[in-house]
Structure 1
Amino acid sequence: MAFSYTSCVVNWVSLHLFLVVFFSGNLVFGGSIVTHLPGFDGELPFTLETGYITVNKSELFYYFIESELSPDSDPLLVWYSGGPGCSAFNGLIYEIGPLAFNITAYQGGIPTLQYYPYSWTKSSNILFIDAPVGTGFSYASDLSAYPTGDTKSAQETYEFLIKWFTDHPKFLANQLFIGADSYSGISAPIVVKYIIDGADTGDFPRFNLKGYIVGCPRTDAIINENSKITYSHRMGFISDQLYEQAKESCNGSYYEIESDDSECYINLQKIEKLTHDLNKNDILEPKCTWASPDQDGESDRRLLKEESENFILSPPRIPDFWCHNFNYALSYVWANDISVQEALNVRVGTVKDWKRCNKTLDYSMDVDSVLDVHRYLSTKGLQVLVYNGDHDLTVPNIGTQDWIKLLNNMTVDFEWRPWFVDGQIAGYNIKYSRRGSGYRLTYATVLGAGHSPQEYKRRECFDMYNRFIHYYPI
């Protein structure tokens, strides 16, 4: 990827960096080092910094964990969660970070935390961002800043990165990867595009961008919705006869069918009835969201957020029936405790009721597809990892494979094959490249995983990421 700067811009940037480093010393701009957390026994065995970055009238909260191996030279991964409106704490505690709740020992009160050894911080610095505003501990000083959407969120995340790296210039030389999952599969590639376009126009600072990572990513509304029907048929949820009827009557497209008296609509209603009681996030797990169905007419795109708080009974109370959502309930208890917020250096009172996923976010879903963005990025010499759990009906692996095939001028470097962890098949993968651009995309499925895969197969996803980030075949 080529960057062009005039000599005066280079000199100005160099001077600016010198002044920042000279006057900063060991000072952390806008952030504080956290050494102890309620529920964790002893001092944290890694470096955690928390803080806020002001973007427009928004105060975006972050958790930054330095690599446990070599923070000065290891890559830096920027990570934010889907939803929209799910806190990056979700990624830190349930997916890729070095902490986990001790679920089996919970007896009430503040949940206990334990060190998780297969963390992505073993080989990377990770910057977790509560984005957009209204997510996690991020808040606005003016109510007018709260309305947001796909485009605005991507722009503000990019502005956040400019300010954060300006405050942390020592990490500018580290290889940079942007990472996101679920609904943030829409905004993440837009953020990557902002970084590339900003470099071409001479924006400061200059990022050492190497690639991006998207897990179970929302990418294209039509492809995603169509893939749910195909996936349901392949998994045996709907019969061959009904599938063929639906495919013929709907002409193979099942997205936003408006006529409620058409044969297509009737067939889709039959399919909905057959799949309604499945847990869409993991088809093999019980469906534990006991709340009434939404009555506000929101589209299925909102279903990328889980109804996390509706089921909070612990395993000891119901030993024969465990629910995945119990994991989430502990985060509400922990993050809403004042002692926890004080330890995290949260501005207490700015967020009166922390939620893992804020379903009241004033959010406009104004981008239906980022397929063209992925096509654009495929000309920029990036390293890309895309993955799905193969038990995910929210963003089925079929749809992800479909949009990858629509990228331009792609060559298959190696065919579909299994990948292994500890001698066992952990999933399947295929690798593509674009000749002449240096662009390489690895697509992987995670065997037995749901949405998002890291929650279900945390160890396997660590191995997948660790190989990718070190440019090893998965």
Structure 2
Amino acid sequence: MNARSLTPVLLFLSISSLLPSSSQNPNPKNYPRSSRRFAEALIRDLNLIPGIQEIDGQIPENDQRNPRLVEKKLNLDILGDIGSGISIQELGHHAGYYSLNHTHAARMFYFFFESRGSSSDPLVLWLTGGPGCSSELALFYENGPFTIADNLSLVWNDYGWDKASNIIYVDQPTGTGFSYSKDLRDLRFNEKGVSNDLYDFLQAFFEAHPKFLKNEFYITGESYAGHYIPAVAERVHRGNKGKEGLKINLKGFAIGNGLTNPSIQYGAYADFAYSMGLIGEAAHDKISKIYPICELGIKLCGSSGVITCAASYVLCNSIFTSILLLAGNINYYDIRKKCEGELCYDFSNMDKFLNQKDVRAALGVSDRKFVSCSPLVYEVMITDWMKNLEVGIPALIEDGIKLLIYAGEYDLICNWLGNFRWVDSMEWSGHQVYSETPMLPFIVDGEEAGQLKTYGPLSFLKVYNAGHMVPMDQPKVALDMLKRWTKGSLSEEDNVGLVSVI
């Protein structure tokens, strides 16, 4: 074993003396340090709900009839007022599978909802993070057309993003949600595989829906999608420039409470926790000593590391788990709340609803069981975790593709401070002017709902009274944000007369 191969081991051993004692926390078993159980605990952190996703299984019958795109128009009963002049009969709600071209046997599942406003509204792609969590989490609990009541009926969401856009929710990477493959070789280990699969998906989608090809296209999502979104934006832009397929009218991408530049964001954990009163000064100073070793691990991970990337994953996440050991039973997605139960939130109605036989029949998924988050997908993506996805962003914004980073102020796991720091330090032609631009109030319906910093194609928004899932905690603000951003009028001076979204 040479010196370079010893580096991850030496890094790991050097960290142990810096960790707070587990005796300082009444329930240390909640955040175990063994690598396997640590990964399972982290599934709750960025993935929200753990579960076992079957990769092998029966192919839905309708998939056999068409190897390309199999789509069904949904006729689900939805309670309440649609909030639109369009009737439910005219409104297009779809679900389907796409058989991915450059895979062995992968089928990618999605929902597609046409706008309750106008068919000419932007087309938005939503990606939930994890890695390995279904985008149905956002669909039913954040910004989808409807929510699930306790009796498992669907109720129209007055602040669904389909009021301002045509929107697609995709279960990805393969093995997530209803998406699956009969061949384990279709599991993805990095953003190259993830972005290529989504590019193939989008090409097939636009082939089936050519009338939306002219619409402005935006890529959005949250959490670990801070990795996915820049990679997919770069892949679409590269495909457009290389004339690889149908030209997609990419105008921008938005990341909510995301993990994009780990080297900078992990350095903000102790500072954020201390500023919010989760830890004291002594703990802050001790935990901060872990960061230089974490930073070195990320540097060694680089663009192609495997062992070093896995080691840096464990080392850097010890910063986060050290804070949790001291902070107690907090909801690390929203530090104002306690973590109620094993999952911090109760999303069980979604699992119950999507695993009903009549719902599965309506979706065309046969008897395939829905699983919210896949530990298998999570584990195979571990070496991707510490990769820096900021590196490809400057080229995109230099070409005029807009970027919005937004973050709820009470999230710990992907906190606003770490996101603010990487955005503020990013080198691009407008960096100097952007860095000198002040944070200004973000006004919604006459009230300050956050703080906005924007210059040219780059915007950062800190959202008040929200945690990790901004559209769930502040639905009106999130919809207003989407409308204004896609119209190019996020700042107050460009927004006279546009503050109301209802």
TM-score normalised by structure 1 residue count = 0.76
Where does residue 186 of structure 2 map in the other structure? 145
- Cα separation, 1, equivalents of 2:226 and 2:465: 21
Matched AA of 1:340: V
Where does residue 69 of structure 1 map in the other structure? 117
DSSP 3-state at the match of 2:258? coil
Where does residue 401 of structure 1 map in the other structure? 420
Task: Please state how far the C-alpha of 1:255 moved relative to its aligned partner.
Answer: 5.4
Where does residue 75 of structure 2 map in the other structure? 35
Task: Please state how far the C-alpha of 1:148 moved relative to its aligned partner.
Answer: 4.2
Task: Please state how far the C-alpha of 1:252 moved relative to its aligned partner.
Answer: 5.7
Structure 2 residue 440 is matched with structure 1 residue 417: yes
DSSP 3-state at the match of 1:415? coil
- Cα separation, 1, equivalents of 2:410 and 2:124: 26
For residues 48-71 of structure 1, give each alpha carbon's deviation from its aligned partner in whole angstroms, at most 9, with x where no partner exists: 011111112211011110111111
- Cα separation, 1, equivalents of 2:190 and 2:106: 14
Structure 2 residue 465 is matched with structure 1 residue 448: yes
Task: Please state how far the C-alpha of 1:31 moved relative to its aligned partner.
Answer: 1.1
Structure 2 residue 370 is matched with structure 1 residue 354: yes
8 Å contact kept, 2:173–2:188: no
DSSP 3-state at the match of 2:325? helix
Where does residue 288 of structure 1 map in the other structure? 340
Where does residue 80 of structure 1 map in the other structure? 127
Q: Choose the corresponding residue for 1:136, options 156, 174, 177.
A: 177
DSSP 3-state at the match of 1:331? helix
**After superposition, where does 1:245-284 map in structure 2 within 5 Å?**
245-247=286-288, 249-250=289-290, 271-284=323-336
- Cα separation, 2, equivalents of 1:363 and 1:245: 31
- Cα separation, 2, equivalents of 1:169 and 1:402: 40
Task: Please state how far the C-alpha of 1:30 moved relative to its aligned partner.
Answer: 2.4
**After superposition, where does 1:165-314 map in structure 2 within 5 Å?**
165-247=206-288, 249-250=289-290, 271-290=323-342, 307=343
Decide which structure has greater helix share: 2
- Cα separation, 2, equivalents of 1:447 and 1:100: 23
For residues 135-190 of structure 1, give each alpha carbon's deviation from its aligned partner in whole angstroms, at most 9, with x where no partner exists: 11111133432354433112111111111112211111111111121001101111
Q: Choose the corresponding residue for 1:427, options 444, 450, 472.
A: 450
8 Å contact kept, 2:69–2:97: no
Where does residue 19 of structure 2 map in the other structure? none
Matched AA of 1:447: Y
Q: Choose the corresponding residue for 2:345, options 322, 325, 345.
A: 325
- Cα separation, 2, equivalents of 1:175 and 1:330: 34
Task: Please state how far the C-alpha of 1:275 moved relative to its aligned partner.
Answer: 2.3
Q: Choose the corresponding residue for 1:343, options 362, 370, 373.
A: 362
DSSP 3-state at the match of 2:375? coil
Give 5+ residue unaligned stretches, structure 2. Answer: 1-67, 298-307, 492-502
8 Å contact kept, 2:291–2:319: no
| CA spacing shift, 1:336–1:252, aligned 2, 3 Å | same
Worse-matched range after superposition: 364-373 or 114-123: 364-373
Worse-matched range after superposition: 226-235 or 275-284: 275-284
Structure 2 residue 160 is matched with structure 1 residue 119: yes
Where does residue 48 of structure 1 map in the other structure? 93
- Cα separation, 1, equivalents of 2:400 and 2:166: 22
Q: Percent identity?
A: 27
Residues paired across the two proteins, number: 393
| CA spacing shift, 1:255–1:289, aligned 2, 3 Å | farther
- Cα separation, 1, equivalents of 2:296 and 2:253: 30
| CA spacing shift, 1:218–1:271, aligned 2, 3 Å | closer
- Cα separation, 2, equivalents of 1:47 and 1:266: 46
- Cα separation, 2, equivalents of 1:467 and 1:265: 36
DSSP 3-state at the match of 2:224? helix
DSSP 3-state at the match of 1:216? strand
Q: Choose the corresponding residue for 1:162, options 182, 203, 215.
A: 203
- Cα separation, 2, equivalents of 1:38 and 1:51: 20
Matched AA of 1:357: C
Structure 2 residue 474 is matched with structure 1 residue 457: yes
Matched AA of 2:72: S
8 Å contact kept, 2:257–2:408: yes
DSSP 3-state at the match of 2:96? strand
Task: Please state how far the C-alpha of 1:44 moved relative to its aligned partner.
Answer: 4.4
- Cα separation, 2, equivalents of 1:266 and 1:401: 22
Where does residue 393 of structure 2 map in the other structure? 374
- Cα separation, 1, equivalents of 2:208 and 2:277: 53
For residues 76-129 of structure 1, give each alpha carbon's deviation from its aligned partner in whole angstroms, at most 9, with x where no partner exists: 0111111111111112111111101224xx4xxxx1110011111112110111
| CA spacing shift, 1:29–1:243, aligned 2, 3 Å | closer
Structure 2 residue 149 is matched with structure 1 residue 102: yes
For residues 321-369 of structure 1, give each alpha carbon's deviation from its aligned partner in whole angstroms, at most 9, with x where no partner exists: xxx622x1100100011101111222x13x2x31222223253234311
TM-score normalised by structure 2 residue count = 0.72
8 Å contact kept, 1:81–1:90: yes
Q: What is the Cα-based RMSD across aligned positions, in Å?
A: 2.8
